[in-house]
């Protein structure tokens, strides 16, 4: 790109004499010029303006020492209305080129901003916007959610302005729990951007600050200008807590608005957006109170139920125990019965006893000894006649 | 009154309503969902009641604080009451 022109060689030279064709030289010129320039913003005065039926515009831009032909194609021209008047000073965003058929140097105009409608501002705004866009600061994904119940609210505005009064009255009415910390600054006048940026920085460093409102009341375009500067917009973007902008009236949209986490139409609207309503917060508390009460009733019901269940299990447990013991008693009684001496007597055996003792040996039976003989159905009084040793 | 106008160190952030509400929410949810023993449940319930009272008091007694901040020579931030 932009290489040196070789005067004797090139694809466009005629074979017979080595000279360039007109077409080749104009094409090469166009290529060189288009490669050598980026898009430019140019300031000049419109002359010889002509709008063709096709919708394309042709005119000259000039200043005190030079002039250049310009063309603006229909699609670009359509965005500017009405067309510029003769002698109007404008900013144009252009791409320099060569119209090959005529060998004419000219500017392709993409955008036109008349200086009379704040062209200087508009130009600066466009530049700042592009710079912010390039750095991703206008990305909607950057936008952070606001805290639901803010406690400490930073406000960056003039202490004497209507904006601050409006913000205070909204917050006092809706959310008086809040603490408002004003980082005071002028909001219009020479060099005010520096002050606003310093105030933003200050607000951002307030310990425990939850959210920052930045803004001012309505005013002329010039009055609001500071909020359209890249400097202020970048300071808003640099805040570590969410920011809400409220600059001017509904129709004013500034660069600060585009960078802030939330754009509110006015300072009052910004305050409305930042704080909840004390009524709805009271409602939330009431709801929790009801749930708390219900949870205890439910727990009591649960406890009662559990107690009843335990009672049932207890009584059925006792019944089981009793039954187990009963059956054991029956078994034991059977065993006892089997072992009873009465059972043995019924088979024909008898038990002799004297003085409460059982007489087990012939030695107990000396002649004339009285004893009681127990048989199955009663006792018999008896006397021993004689005894003899067995074996 | 003159004293109120002097710039003072910025006090700690009071316990926020949001934090209080979140804590209450946790208590209520624990009581609703969890199978707590009765002692623990009663303890939580009492904590909930205290929390409710203080949240309500916060809402009812609130009076907006407004301060203007300045940066002191040592770089610290001070606040002055604004009427």
Sheet holding A370-375, edge to edge: A357-358, A351-354, A370-375, A378-383
What are the residues whose beta carbons fall under 8 Å from the beta carbon of A238, sequence distance 6 or more?
A: A200, A201, A204
List per-residue pLDDT tens for chain A, 391 residues long.
Answer: 444 555 555 566 667 787 888 999 999 999 999 999 988 889 899 999 999 999 999 999 998 889 999 999 999 998 886 788 888 888 899 999 999 999 999 999 998 887 765 556 667 778 888 889 889 998 889 999 999 999 999 999 999 999 999 999 999 999 999 999 999 999 998 889 999 999 999 999 999 999 999 999 998 878 888 998 899 999 999 999 999 999 988 777 889 999 999 999 999 999 999 999 988 899 999 999 998 888 878 777 877 888 888 888 888 877 888 888 888 878 877 777 777 777 777 778 888 888 888 888 888 888 888 888 888 888 889 888 876 655 4
Shortest alpha-carbon distance between residue B42 and chain A (Å): 8
Dihedral sign (CA A78, A80, A84, A89) = negative
Residue of A nearest to B35 (CA): A299
Of the candidates B41, B52, B62, the beta carbon closest to that of A288 is on B52
ipTM over 0.90: no
Q: Are strands A262-264 and A40-51 parallel, antiparallel or unpaired?
A: unpaired
Place of tokens 């200008």: A225
Indicate the SS3 state at residue A317.
helix
The upper half-sphere exposure of residue B53, i.e. CA atoms within 13 Å in the direction of its Cβ, equals 6
From CA B7, how far away is CA B72, in angstroms rounded? 9
**A46 near A83, Cβ under 8 Å?**
no
If 0-12 CB within 10 Å is exposed, 13-18 middle and 19+ buried, where does residue A320 land?
A: exposed
Please name every residue paired with A92 in a beta bridge, in sequence order, or none if there are none. Answer: A42, A112
pLDDT at residue A170, as a whole number: 97
Angle made by CA atoms B31, B32, B34, in degrees to the nearest 5: 70
Question: To probe the interface with A, which of B17, B45, B65 has the most A CB atoms within 10 Å?
Answer: B17
Q: What is the DSSP string of A206-262?
A: STT--EEEEEE----TTTTGGGGSHHHHHHHHT-SS-EEEEESSTT---HHHHHSSE
pLDDT confidence bin for B37, thresholds 50/70/90: confident
Give the pLDDT of residue A253. 80
8 Å CB contact of A202 and B69:
yes
**pLDDT in the model for residue A10:** 55
A358-363 — which CB contacts under 8 Å span 24+ positions? A362/A387, A362/A388, A362/A389, A362/A390, A363/A387
Which residues from B are below 8 Å from A177, CB to CB?
17, 58-59, 62
pLDDT for A154 equals 97
Length of chain A, in residues: 391
Copy the structure tokens of residue A82.
């009405």
Strands (E), A282-343: none
Count of CB contacts below 8 A, A vs B?
108
B77 contacts chain A (CB < 8 A) = yes
Interface test with B, best of A146, A177, A185, A275 (most B CBs within 10 A): A177
Under a CB-based contact definition with an 8 Å cutoff, are residues A87 and A43 in contact? no
DSSP state, residue A15: T
pLDDT reported for residue A2: 44
Q: How confident is the model at residue B3 (pLDDT cuts 50, 70, 90)?
A: low
List the single residue in B25, B45, B64 with the smallest CB-CB distance to A176: B64
Query: Which of B48, B65, B71 is nearest residue A292 as measured by Cβ atoms?
Result: B48
Q: What is the mean pLDDT of residues B6-21?
A: 88
Q: Judge: B41–A148 Cβ closer than 8 Å, yes or no.
A: no
Q: How far apart are the first and last CA of chain A?
A: 151
Instruction: Judge if pTM exceeds 0.90.
Output: no
d(Cα A241, Cα B28) in Å, to the nearest integer?
Answer: 31
Q: Indicate the pairing of strand A357-358 with strand A351-354.
A: antiparallel
**A151/B18 CB distance under 8 A:** yes
Chain A residues touching B69 at Cβ < 8 A:
181-184, 202-203, 206
What angle (nearest 5°) sits at the alpha carbon of residue A34, between those of residues A30 and A39?
A: 145
């Amino acid at each position: 790109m932009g290489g040196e022109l070789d005067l004797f060689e090139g694809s466009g030279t005629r074979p017979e004499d080595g000279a360039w064709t007109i077409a080749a030289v104009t094409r090469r010129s166009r290529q060189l010029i288009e490669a050598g320039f980026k898009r430019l913003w140019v300031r000049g005065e419109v002359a010889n303006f002509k709008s063709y039926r096709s919708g394309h515009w042709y005119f000259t831009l000039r200043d005190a020492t030079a002039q250049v032909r310009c063309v603006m194609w229909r699609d670009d021209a359509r965005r500017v209305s009405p067309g510029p008047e003769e002698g109007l000073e404008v900013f144009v965003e252009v791409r320099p080129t060569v119209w090959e058929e005529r060998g004419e140097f000219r500017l392709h105009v993409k955008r036109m901003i008349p200086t009379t409608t704040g062209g200087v501002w508009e130009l600066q705004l466009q530049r700042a916007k592009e710079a912010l866009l390039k750095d991703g600061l206008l990305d909607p994904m950057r936008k952070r959610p606001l805290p639901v119940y803010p406690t400490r609210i930073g406000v960056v505005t003039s202490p004497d302005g209507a904006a601050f009064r409006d913000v205070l009255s909204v917050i006092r009415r809706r959310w008086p729990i809040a603490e408002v910390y004003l980082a005071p600054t002028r909001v219009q006048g020479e060099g005010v951007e520096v002050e606003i940026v310093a105030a933003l920085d200050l607000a951002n460093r307030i310990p425990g600050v939850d959210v920052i409102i930045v803004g001012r009341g309505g005013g002329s375009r010039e009055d609001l200008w500071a909020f359209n500067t890249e400097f202020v917009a970048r300071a808003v973007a640099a805040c570590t807590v969410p920011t809400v902008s409220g600059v001017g009236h509904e129709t004013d949209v500034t660069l600060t608005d585009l960078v802030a986490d939330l754009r509110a139409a006015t300072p009052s609207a910004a305050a409305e957006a930042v704080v909840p309503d004390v009524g709805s917060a009271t409602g939330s508390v009431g709801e929790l109170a009801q749930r708390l009460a219900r949870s205890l009733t439910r727990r009591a019901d649960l406890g009662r139920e559990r107690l009843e269940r335990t009672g049932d299990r207890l009584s059925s447990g006792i019944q089981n125990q009793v039954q187990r013991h009963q059956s054991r008693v029956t078994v034991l009684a059977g065993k006892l019965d089997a072992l009873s001496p009465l059972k043995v007597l019924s088979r024909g055996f008898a038990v002799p006893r004297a003085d409460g003792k059982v007489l087990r040996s012939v030695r107990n039976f000396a002649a004339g000894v009285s004893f009681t003989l127990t048989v199955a159905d009663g006792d018999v009084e008896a006397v021993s006649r004689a005894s003899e040793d067995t074996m | 009154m003159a004293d109120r106008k002097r710039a003072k160190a910025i006090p700690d952030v009071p316990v926020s309503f949001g934090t209080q509400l979140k804590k209450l929410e946790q208590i209520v949810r624990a009581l609703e969902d969890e199978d707590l023993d009765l002692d623990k449940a009663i303890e939580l319930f009492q904590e909930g009641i205290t929390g409710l009272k203080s949240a309500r008091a916060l809402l009812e007694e609130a009076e907006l604080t407004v301060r203007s901040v300045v940066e002191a020579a040592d770089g610290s931030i001070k606040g002055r009451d604004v009427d």
